[in-house]
Amino acid sequence: MKIIETKDYADMSRKAANIIAAQIITKPECVLGLATGSSPIGTYDNLVAMYENGDLDFSEITTVNLDEYKGLTRDNDQSYYYFMHEHLFDRVNIDSERTNVPNGMEADAEKECKRYEEFIKSLGGVDLQLLGLGHNGHIGFNEPAPVFEKETHCVNLTESTIEANKRFFASADDVPRQAYTMGIGTIMRAKKILLVASGEDKADIVAKAFFGEVTPDVPASILQMHPDVTVVADAAALSKIPR
Ligand code: GLP
């Protein structure tokens, strides 16, 4: 695992965007795994700026998103479909036919999860997977659990995740209770992983996930076993790692 310390959120966002840009430049037809949350927004802004400067071409890439709330329509401004269009897809020359987010409106969880998992396999896997990190160590929506869930599945969100994400909704009652997410196996099969983390409130979980025991209680801890992970995090988020 490579850890790149940055000054602050802006510096983290620039460095993460540069890593993604290098992937797109060296393999224009690559498959990018994408994430939502506040952590990658600056990364997307930097990618958009590179596109606007004529430095980056998204026309051949395919994207697969990590997760989606179950039961939110695409036009709901809290759906991850909406988020991705707002922060990236509608701002660059990506082929929208080649952007993929789990279908939160498919009521049959088993059917949707199987479809999404097989679809990712049919693409030949993910070249570079971007991740954020939840305060309880979740990646995608893989919540702390007794075992690592391997494939795309439907999760019941934990109270702490509902609490953390309620800031985006009118109230905690409006936060969906379930989501579809790539599994830990789906994520671990990505050839490269790039995780972004920022802020003091992530310091405890960053230390625990990357320097603690590998356990499904801290889902991100499994990344210690992946051969090609880069963590780009600011000084505040790295303030509690052992030196
Ligand atoms: C959400 C998403 C995750 C994200 C995490 C952290 O619940 N499902 O993919 O990484 O929360 O979000 P943030 O970056 O806003 O702290």
Q: Identify the pLDDT of residue 70.
A: 97
Assess whether the C-beta atom of 67 lies below 6 angstroms from ligand 1: yes
Q: Of ligand 1's atoms, which has the minimum distance to the CA of residue 80?
A: 8
Residue 18: is its pLDDT beyond 90? yes
Tokens representing residue 176 in the block:
């969906």
Candidate from 70, 141, 193 with most ligand 1 atoms within 8 A of CB, to mutate: 141
Distance (Å, whole) CA 35 – CA 29: 19
Q: Predicted confidence band at 143 (pLDDT cuts at 50, 70, 90)?
A: very high
Tell me how far CA of residue 6 lies from CA of 12, 23, 162, 238, in angstroms: 5, 20, 29, 9
Q: Which residues are catalytic?
A: 67, 136, 138, 143
Task: Count Cβ neighbours within 10 Å for each residue of 121-134 and write b for 16 or more, e otherwise.
Answer: eeeeebbbbbbbbb
194 alpha carbon to ligand 1 midpoint, in Å? 14
Determine what percent of the chain is predicted with pLDDT higher than 90: 97
Q: Identify the pLDDT of residue 227.
A: 98
On whether the pTM is more than 0.75, the answer is yes
Assess whether the C-beta atom of 47 lies below 6 angstroms from ligand 1: no
Q: Of ligand 1's atoms, which has the minimum distance to the CA of residue 196?
A: 14
Q: Identify the pLDDT of residue 226.
A: 98
In the numeric block, the tokens 């356990």 are attached to: 215
**Tens digits of per-residue pLDDT, 204-214?**
999 999 999 99
- In the chain, the DSSP E strands lie at 2-6, 31-34, 62-65, 67-69, 99-100, 128-131, 153-156, 178-181, 192-197, 229-234
Helix (H) / strand (E) element for 46: namely: helix 41-52
Dihedral sign computed on CA atoms, order 109, 114, 117, 122 = negative
Alpha helices per DSSP H over 59-213: 80-87, 109-122, 159-165, 184-188, 203-211
Residue 73: is its pLDDT beyond 90? yes
Tokens representing residue 216 in the block:
């499904």
Other beta carbons within 10 angstroms of residue 177's beta carbon come to 12
Q: Predicted confidence band at 164 (pLDDT cuts at 50, 70, 90)?
A: confident
What integer best gives the mean pLDDT of the chain? Answer: 97
Nearest CA to ligand 1 atom 5: 134
Helix (H) / strand (E) element for 41: namely: helix 41-52
140: phi > 0 → left, psi -120 to 50 → alpha, else beta; which?
Answer: left
Stretch 131-153: mean pLDDT:
96
